[in-house]
Amino acid sequence: MSSMNAKHPRPTYWRSLAELDQDPKFQQMLATEFPEPLDGREMAPGTPARRRFLQIMGASFALGGCRFQEDKLLPFSRRPEGVLPGEPRRFATAMELGGVATGLVVTSYDGRPVKVEGSPLHPTSGGGASSLHQALVLGLYDPDRSEGITRLQGQARVAALPAQFEEFVAAERPNWQSRGSSVRVLSSLSSSPSLAAMKQRFLTAFAGAKWIDYSAVETDNLEAGTTLCFGKPHQAVYQLENARIVLSVHSDVASSTDPAGIVAGRGLARGRVPEGQPMSRVYAVESSLSLIGGIADHRLSMSAGSAKAFLAALDAELSSKLGDAGKGAQPKPAAKFLAEPSIAKFIAALTQDLLANRGAAVLLVGSRLPPEVQALAQRLNVLLDGVGRTVTYHEVPVRERRKDALQALVQDIQAGRVETLLVLGENPVLTAPTDLGFAAALAKVKTSIALSEFEDETALLSSWHVPLAHPLEAWGDSLAHDGTITLAQPLIAPLFGGRSVLELLALLANDPKRDGLEIVRRTHAGSLPNQKAWDRAVHDGFISGTMAAPASVTVGVLPTFALAESELRNGEASNGKLEIVLAPDSKVYDGRFGNSSWLQELPEPLSKQTWGNAVWLSPGTGKALSIADGDLVKVSAAGKELTLPALHVPGQAEGSLRIALGYGRYAAGHVGGLASANVDPVGANAYVLSALGAPFLLSDASITRLDGRQAIASVQDLHAIDAVGQAGIDERRGLLLAEANLEEFQKEPDFAKHLVHHPPLESMWNDPVSYEGHKWGMAIDLNKCTGCSACITACQAENNIPVVGKDSVLMGREMLWLRVDRYFSGSPENPKLSFQPVPCQQCENAPCEQVCPVGATMHSHEGLNDMVYNRCIGTRYCSANCPYKVRRFNYLNFHLDKVEATPFQTVTNKKKLLMHMVFNPEVTVRARGVMEKCTFCVQRIQNVKIKAKNVKRSIADGEIKTACQQTCPASAITFGDLNDPTSLVAKDHALPRAYSILEELNNRPRVRYLARIRNPHPELG
Amino acid sequence: MATLWSETNPYLGAPKGDTDFARITDNVARVAEAAKPPMGWYIAFAIALTMLTGFGASLAWVSWTGIGAWGNMHPVAWGFPIVNFVFWVGIGHAGTLISAILFLLRQTWRTAINRFAEAMTIFAVICAGVFPGVHIGRPWMPYYMFPIPNQMNMWPQFRSPLEWDIFAVGTYFTISLLFWFMGMIPDFATLRDRATTTPRRLIYGIVAMGWRGSSRQWHRYERAYLLLAALATPLVLSVHSVVSFDFATSQAPGWHTTIFPPYFVAGAIFGGFAMVVTLAVPARQFFGLKRLIEIRHLELMNKVILATGMMVGYAYGMEFFIAWYSGNPYEVFVFVNRAFGPYAWAYWTMIACNVLIPQLHWFQKVRTNVWCTLAIGVVINVGMWFERFVIICTSMSRDFMPANWGYFVPSTIDYLTLGGSFGLFFTLFLLFCRFLPMVAIAEVKGAHRDAHANHGGHGGHDHSHAPETA
Amino acid sequence: MSEMHHKKPESQEDAPLFGLLAEYNTPSELILASQKVRDAGFTRWDTFTPFPVHGIDRAMGIKMTRLPWLVLGAALAGLSLAIWLQWWTNAVDYPWIISGKPFWSLPANVPIMFELTVLFAGITAMVGMLVMNGLPEPAHPLDLKRRFARATDDKFFLLVETRDPRFDEVLTRSLLEKSHPAALEDVPEDRTTSAQIPTGLIYGLIVLTAIAVVPFALFAKARTTKSRNTRIHAIADMDSQPKFKTQRENLIFADGRSMRDPVAGTVAQGQLRDDDALYLGKVNGAWARTFPSQVTPTAELMDRGEQRFGIYCAPCHGQSGEGDGMVHLRASKLGQGWVQPSNIHQQYIREQPVGQLFNTITHGIRSMPAYGPQISAEDRWAIVLYLRALEKSRAANLGELTAEQRQNLK
């Protein structure tokens, strides 16, 4: 335990104990404790933040006040073994999302976690991590996390001491034991063995109690589908690297919202190497753009409703070809749209490919599609001999369907059969379907205990709120995508004395073991008998050899599926016949990350929207219903309505709307929205549309334009592109982003080098230095990049990149060092999608350097384009002269305004101090008025160089990894020493398809791109 | 002839004096000596002062909150401040050009307006000089740009065109100031000797530095003046060339243009002359200098404006041609985008103001009409400001990579700063009109016919005597 | 100067003659007069005109001034300074790699060369003119003549000074009269204003100088006096950043440390100590009697051990390990219940297995603190190795020596 909690086992986060008694004054103080909003919008010019007055104060007693700040040194009196002050240590841990664990490695600086990365040792994550993982540290140091236990007194929430809560529990426990049937537990869907064990203890302790696995996003269909297909619920594990043909039907695989996204991304990337090995071909059928849709060689926009008919047709086609007709094969559905030439051709080519690649083909189906479709897909996977090659199955325990469980729960509450309700780490008041009326029901329950990180929507209505320990604060375990048991160790003692789910249950069930560590160890006592084995497992972050054994499956005979009228047509752009797809957001997931400013400002990979959600519709549908970009619209389905801005997205299926879930929160915090502090919600809450029967896929919806518009804070095409601009883009896209089809590439492998015709690039000067020693360079493979944007958040976390807030994004002042540019080509109905990550190109003839009047940016002897923050006076000439526009300028005091660091006095506001803790101590925290840009993570380079120098050894290739490279699931980025011909990056630079952007300017960038190669079917071209 | 200087002036009546020289003196000097200036001066000064306050306020706010208070953004890192800077530097050209070049070309008509023009130059350069200082992100450390020895061995980076600017604008300001001041010394002496109150006598006495019009002094004086003129002439041409290097030496499409130096200089003279007429017309009306600043002079300037205006128009066209001829897609796009993109309105304003409207000067009626001259002068100033806006903002808003494209929208502070800089300019200019000799008295006298009286034949030619040393 | 000319001071009556002043109405009359005076060979005389009169130079025989040469010199000076400045700063004193260009490449330096050339030349032209003209000239006898005020308006004057060797009161006067001046007057010496500098001006200057000195005085004081306060630093910029470098203060935590203890039971990457022999000095439960496999006793390891011993052990145990280190000597002088560190040559220590010695170093014993956190396991083994050698150095018996070693001993 950290001394803070050891000395004061109370939420003494910044109040003295005296304040903690229940007097009303203190309650007011609680309400008024929060300082000005932290989300950056107070920094809009013209609205000075409070600290400006502090500054004025400081400035006013000028000579007296503005003195150099004093610094204290506080060393350990007794230093623990293995701890060297200032020497970062790395710990293996894990994060569970949607019941699937991802193995992580977290860097801890002086015992404070500062950076999250994927664990290279871990079988599934293999070093990759998504934006959600990257943003964990920011969540840990979020000043809006609840500081202590609160309980409902009348209408007001009052703080309570842990002791008081424990007394309450002790008093209540007998009732629970006697009337266990009145106890309900709403736990977040988890695969944790310890939780399963704890669940058993709980249910035995309180006989008759009911346990509900809750998830805000769709999880039932897959299991229902496999049950339908194999008789038992199974988990499908795909090996995309073995697939030659991949068909994705509305699947969001490779996205951060997919629990297996990292594995899938890596698998896909492995198949997309055009050199040497045969290259995979990806087909995508989907209602809205997705990352895999971006990779796809062939993409078909098709409304989600018509997926069933599509797969049925495919099934019929394949079954007949494979002579499997009759054995549960579907008849060819009588859907007109299947006869459309484009679709018919698509299916023909697809069937041909699938048949030609039996054993190397795989079908992925989005979890939102109904069980029948899932069943069909798995049936075809088996039929195409995918089992054991491209897909394996393992059994998963049978679970009650979410729908039934929730319905039963609410009915029981209404009938007064429930006296105690535990909500563990979930936020059903926000996320449960509205027609369920959960909020109303919750109020009826006598004792409701909400365990959550924030005092969120659910916690506010519960009679007790207990702070949940952050994933980086608690011991835990859960299963990875392939069933490997993954262990999570804490990086720091709970900052607010939060409890993990296990610890709370242990307390309630009066488990002899109360400490998270002990509980988890007990679970694995069998497999890890002694300390050594345990330590090894903790060190690695997982128990090796626990991967789930593949089950052998037999496909049952499927009934002929009935097709509703709406499922027989392929979308229709007319009100009352629209479909709405509600998808978890790639940034805030189901809303739980709503208060993370990194994620809120992260551009959505496809729409490039920051700070909020919008309803996606195709330009065609927009025209048909006369709805323009940014129009405020009312979306309605089954009598429920939602108002939000509209966004035209190419490749959206006609008549299909997509809305991201997880926005519009009113109790998220000062970033995501906090009614109590008059902070407007970010985006609109799409859960209000979801119904118990059809939670995420609604049909027969309408959309109507309201008067009024709402600016969409997008980082690309912020302003609508006019005809002239569009022409310009079309003209140059091909020059900046080299693309070719496989056979073209094989004919002319170095086509990318001849995109632009230019005279020989000769400088009139000789180089002042010949980069001996190291010569750092980077290569980015556009063929592997899925555009998932994990690299952006990784960069932000590593390099202390400020968040600027929605208003500044709207002014085009975002600070992200690494952009992922997204380009559309082809028809807006069915566009080709291309991504291009753009960091600083570290040009050898850097145009930025010669224009700086003060030499604030210059070249290092290793060829890095260094930025000297202290020397920079902010003429912004370098940015003006940078053809890649990768330089970012601190137009305002983005950082220091938010963390209230004034030059004149030490910060005492503990909330602000907490925010200081997220900064990487090895990177400058830039002040206003200075230019900044990608440094190739120079601090990482230096660390390794120093280590190597100390022991007089040379640096191995791959020893230095930049933050973006490190986190990339597809390992599309390579970095290293170009002087070492054997290094990966040197090899990549030597590839024929390597090229650099705007080569004709002779800036000689150190970043080279590997051209994008598509592998289309000859018939479809 | 005797009536030549007996022009009755709206509020001072006819100039006193029994010789033409005396009347010339009186005609100019009395303006500075008048107990109180005309009402118009007070109104104008009040307005100017208010705008100046706005200037101060906006700059204070900017240096407090950060330049984010302006509209500058990514990719348009240079917005209004640099537009204003280039605009004012441009204005600052006609002055020294008129004085220096016309002096070298022995254009005696310059005497009517050179003092004006020089003053205008000084004040315009002051306005320009403000911006590089305040537009930087950390306005408290512009001294990094000067070669000040320091323990860190940190020096400026002399390859940067901004560094060249520092020296170019600095030199230009210094030389212009010297040129202006030197021209005024004899006139200060005149004011000193006419002064009736002690403070005036003291102040004018100090600035006149004891000038008594000794011929031996006149001799060196004229030499020095000639040298300064000779130095100032190439300087004028260099300054705006250097300013244009800021853009010409960069890589950005629309900036990277070899035609910029001549094009900028022509534009500067164009705008500068426009500003001179804009100022000269009201001044001659208010202060009764109609006989000194004649219609003839205005017409000559209008001809210069017409000529330079067409040079500018040629440059506009040539930019397009070269862009097309280069076949560089980025280059072509930038110019198409200027004319038909989101900023087309700015581009066509510029064309209208700088190329089309000045064509009216083909007609003598227009050329010789004071009010048309004034109106067209103002229009051209607007147009020249837009020229800089088009070059800087439009080019930047859409450069190489479409992912960076944006649309620059100025903030209210931007407008306040722009208006404020005019406040500074006019405040200084009105003070000049009030307290300094608006016309070069000595030079006008020197250009008067009585100055070249028939002195030939009187031993003027005999070299029998060995001259003594000076 | 000019303000004097209407004062009528008493002392002026008997003031000696300074010169003769002739006034003319037109430039041409002046020129004619000047030619006469010139031909008469006068040297100390001058003419005064409201504007440069054309032809007066020749009429007076004024020779071309040397100012242009000065200006040329200055121009060259400016040029060379510009070249030197840019070359020295960017290529020699602090060379930068800028855009892959050579440290010294002329084209980029031309603009500043030009500017400095012009700047120096221009300033010299102005200053040179003033100096050569003897300006500023506060006072002059002519200022006392009221009518002379029109020299800057519309009249033309000629002054011949008495200092001129050829000056003769009568002849000169008649010479001037021949030129039909509009007026001819005596100019007396200026006796009233010669040494008169306004006292206000003097005091003003004194005050200004005093004020100007103040800041420097403050600097001087600041440099020579001590202060508890940190130095004055109006704009902190990035000097104090809102991040926690190692071992800094963080008021969030009760102990005020930004540095946190690792959570109990956690295992950092690469710090899995699951080798008992190496990390605990134990082999299945008992003290290891041999060095762990990872540690091979070599000469290098021995040196390393000696070095570490010198750093960590010798202060107390003494270089030779007899427990007589500096700390001990000092402490026992103070003698506050100080226990002498053990002498490592004692029998029982010599007999201890290496594992036990290792353990003692790791966890400390009696009043000896634990050195585990400070010394890596490998180094601890190195120290153990060196200890053994030290012990051996005292307790070696002849039997362990080779034949010729014994020879050497003799």
Task: Give me the pLDDT at residue A573, please.
Answer: 84
What CA–CA distance (Å, rounded) separates B127 from B81?
A: 11
CB contacts, 8 Å: A735 with chain B: 329
Name the DSSP class of A32. H
- Using a pLDDT cut of 70, give the percent of chain B over it: 93
Contact A864, A776 (CB under 8 A): yes
Residue C215 in domain: no
d(CA B67, CA B64): 8
What's the rounded Cα separation, in Å, for the pair A579 and A308?
14
* Domains by residue range for chain A, with CATH: 2-140 (no CATH), 149-218+401-479+497-512 (3.40.50.740), 234-395 (3.40.228.10), 576-672+697-709 (2.40.40.20), 723-1014 (3.30.70.20)
Mutate to test the interface with C, among B184, B187, B221, B227 (most CBs of C within 10 A): B227
Which of A83, A105, A492 lies closest to C263 in CB terms?
A: A492
CB A318 within 8 Å of CB A355: yes
Neighbours of chain B (3+ CB pairs under 8 A): A, C
Q: Are A890 and B66 a contacting pair at CB < 8 A?
A: yes
Number of domains chain C is built from: 2
Q: Is residue C231 part of a domain?
A: no
Residue B17 near residue B304, CB atoms below 8 Å: no
* Average pLDDT rounded to a whole number, residues B157-166: 93
The answer to whether A371 and A221 have CB atoms below 8 angstroms apart is yes
CA B14 to chain centre: 32
Residue A24 has pLDDT above 50, yes or no: no
- With CB atoms and an 8 Å threshold, state whether A535 touches C252: no
Domain co-membership, C28 together with C162: yes
CB within 8 Å of chain B, chain C residues 340-399: none
Whether the pLDDT of residue B18 is over 60: the answer is: yes
Note whether residue C265 is domain-resident: no
Residues of C with CB below 8 A from A495's CB? 252
SS (H, E, C) chain C: CHHHCCCCCHHHCCCCEEEEEEEECCHHHHHHHHHHHHHCCCCCEEEECCCCCCCHHHHHCECCCCHHHHHHHHHHHHHHHHHHHHHHHHHHHCCCEECCECCCCHHHHHHHHHHHHHHHHHHHHHHHHHHHCCCCCCCCHHHHCHHHHHHHCCCEEEEEECCCCCCCHHHHHHHHHHCCCCEEEEEECCCCCCCCCCHHHHHHHHHHHHHHHHHHHHHHHHHHCCCCCCCECCCCCCCCCCCCCCCCECCCCCCCECCCCCCCCCCECCCCCCCHHHHCCEECCEECCCCCCCCCCCHHHHHHHHHHHHHHHHHHHCCCCCCCCHHHHHHHHHCCCCCCCCCCCCHHHHHCCHHHHHHHHHHCECCECCCCCCCCHHHHHHHHHHHHHHHHHHHCCHHHCCHHHHHHHC
Q: Do C244 and A517 lie within an 8 Å CB cutoff?
A: no
* Pick from A316-330, B143-157, B223-237, B241-255: least confident: A316-330
User: With contact defined as beta carbons under 8 Å apart, do A233 and A226 qualify?
Assistant: yes
Indicate whether this complex's ipTM tops 0.85.
yes
Helix (H) or strand (E) holding A598: helix A597-601
CB contact under 8 A, C112 and B452: no
- The whole-number pLDDT of residue A894 equals 85
Q: Does B215 touch chain C (CB under 8 A)?
A: yes
Q: Give the largest Cα separation in chain A, rounded.
A: 91
Mean of pLDDT values over A770-785 = 93
Does C122 lie in the same domain as C28? yes
Residue A905 has a pLDDT of 59
Distance CA C105, CA C99 (A): 12
Q: Of C207, C223, C242, which closes a domain?
A: C207
* Gap from A456 CA to chain C (nearest CA, Å): 24
Mean pLDDT of the region A903-918: 78
User: Hey, are the CB atoms on A903 and C233 less than 8 Å from each other?
Assistant: yes
Is A27's pLDDT higher than 70? Answer: no
The verdict on residue C382 lying in a domain is: yes
Q: Which pLDDT band, with edges at 50, 70 and 90, does C236 fall under?
A: confident
- Token pair of B34 as six digits: 């008048």
Residue C403: inside a domain, yes or no? no
**Residue A124 CB burial class (10 angstroms; 0-12, 13-18, ≥19):** buried
Q: How confident is the model at residue A11 (pLDDT cuts 50, 70, 90)?
A: very low
Both C323 and C177 in one domain: the answer is no
Q: Which residues of C touch B459 (CB under 8 A)?
A: 32, 35, 39, 59
User: CA A942, A947, A952: angle at the middle one, nearest 5?
Assistant: 115
Q: A222, B193, A281: which is closest to C150 by C-alpha?
A: B193
Cβ within 8 Å, pair C122-B174: yes
Looking at the partner chain, which of A724, A812, A858 has a beta carbon nearest the beta carbon of B336? Answer: A724
* Chain B residue with the nearest C-alpha to that of A997: B401
Mutation for C interface: A539, A908, A959, most C CBs within 10 A: A539
From B304, B301, B171, select the one nearest B238 (Cα to Cα): B171
**Quick one: pLDDT at residue C397?**
73
Is C91 domain-assigned?
yes
Least CB–CB distance from C152: residue in B190, B221, B465: B190
Q: Which of residues 35-94 of B touch A (CB under 8 A)?
A: 64-69, 71-75, 77-78
- A870/C238 touch (CB, cutoff 8 Å), yes or no: yes
Same structural domain, C23 and C110: yes
Judged by CB atoms closer than 8 Å, whether chains meet at A873 and B138 is answered as yes
Quickly list H helices, A300-451: 307-321, 341-356, 371-383, 402-414, 428-431, 438-444
- Kindly state whether B157 is in contact with chain A, defined as any CB-CB distance less than 8 angstroms: yes
CATH of the domain at C376: 1.10.760.10
Same domain? For C151 and C27 the reply is yes
Of A754-763, A900-909, B293-302, the one with minimum mean pLDDT is A900-909
On the question of pLDDT at A32 being above 50, the answer is no
In chain B, what residues touch A48 (CB-CB under 8 Å)? 65
pLDDT at B321: 93
pLDDT in tens, B257-271: 889 999 999 999 899
**Whether residue C191 is found in the same domain as residue C322:** no
Strands A673-674 and A485-488: unpaired
| C190 shares its domain with C324 | no
- Establish if C358 belongs to a structural domain: yes
Closest CA to A681 of A616, A595, A602, A810: A595
C89 in B contact zone (CB under 8 Å): yes
pLDDT of residue A28: 42
**Is the Cβ pair C100, A82 closer than 8 Å?**
no
C237/B138 CB distance under 8 A: yes
At A421, give phi and psi (nearest 5°). -130, 125
Which of B68, B250, B340 is facing A851, going by the closest CB pair? Answer: B250
Domain boundary among C207, C239, C258: C207
C-alpha distances out from residue A839 to A443, A796, A983, Å = 51, 12, 20
Compute how many other C-beta atoms are within 10 angstroms of the C-beta atom of residue C65: 21
Name chain B contacts of A724, Cβ cutoff 8 Å: 336-337, 340-341
Full residue range of the structural domain in which residue C113 is found: 14-207
Neighbours of chain C (3+ CB pairs under 8 A): A, B
Query: Dihedral of the CA atoms C284, C287, C292, C297 (nearest 10)?
Result: -160
Nearest to B171 among C52, C119, C133 (CB): C119
What is chain B's mean pLDDT, rounded? Answer: 87
Average pLDDT across chain A, whole number: 87
- Would an 8 Å CB–CB cutoff place C142 in contact with chain B? yes
Alpha-carbon distance of A91 to A71, in angstroms, equals: 29
Query: What residues in A contact C241, CB-CB < 8 Å?
Result: 901, 919, 924-925
Q: Which amino acid is at A655?
A: G
User: Which amino acid belongs to residue C172?
Assistant: T
| Contact between A588 and A663 (Cβ < 8 Å) | yes
pLDDT at residue number B117? 86
pLDDT at position C404? 76
Residues C110 and C201 in one domain: yes
On chain B, the residues whose CB falls within 8 A of the CB of C121 are 227, 231
Contact residues on chain C for B439, CB-CB shorter than 8 A: none
Q: What integer pLDDT is reported at residue B454 of this predicted model?
A: 53
CB-closest option in C28, C49, C68 to B227: C68
Report the percent of chain A where pLDDT is more than 70.
Answer: 92
A542 part of contact set with chain C, CB < 8 Å: no
Question: Each residue of A384-395: pLDDT tens digit?
Answer: 999 999 999 998
The alpha-carbon gap from B323 to the nearest alpha carbon of chain C, in Å, equals 25
Is the CB of C115 less than 8 angstroms away from the CB of B147? no
Nearest-by-CA chain C residue for A78: C373
Other C-beta atoms lying within 10 Å of the C-beta of residue B10? 11
- Taking the Cβ of residue B244 and every Cβ of chain A, the question of whether any pair is shorter than 8 Å is answered with no
Residue B260 in contact with partner chain C when CB distance is under 8 A = no
What's the one-letter identity of residue A860? S
Would residue C213 count as lying in a domain?
A: no
Closest C-alpha among A860, A841, A866, A865 to residue A774: A860
Write out chain C residues lying below 8 Å of A912, CB-based.
242
Choice among A657-671, B19-33, B141-155, B398-412 with the minimum mean pLDDT: B19-33
> Do C322 and C174 belong to one domain?
no
A399-402 — which CB contacts under 8 Å span 24+ positions? Answer: A399/A213, A399/A220, A399/A223, A399/A233, A400/A212, A400/A213, A401/A220, A401/A224, A402/A213, A402/A214, A402/A215, A402/A219, A402/A220
Beta bridge partners of A422: A185, A449
Length of chain A: 1021
**pLDDT at position B113:** 80
**Spatial CA neighbour of A252 closest among A306, A227, A288:** A288
CB A250 within 8 A of CB A368: yes
8 Å CB contact of B201 and C235: no
Closest in C56, C63, C96 to B157, CB measured: C96
All residues of chain A having their beta carbon less than 8 Å from the beta carbon of residue C260 are: 2, 110-112, 492-493
The pLDDT value recorded for residue C6 is 45
- Phi (first) and psi of residue A974, to 5 degrees: -120, 145
Kindly report, residue by residue over A508-520, the tens digit of the pLDDT: 999 899 999 999 9
Instruction: Compare CB distances from C262 to A80, A538, A768 and report the shortest one's residue.
Output: A80
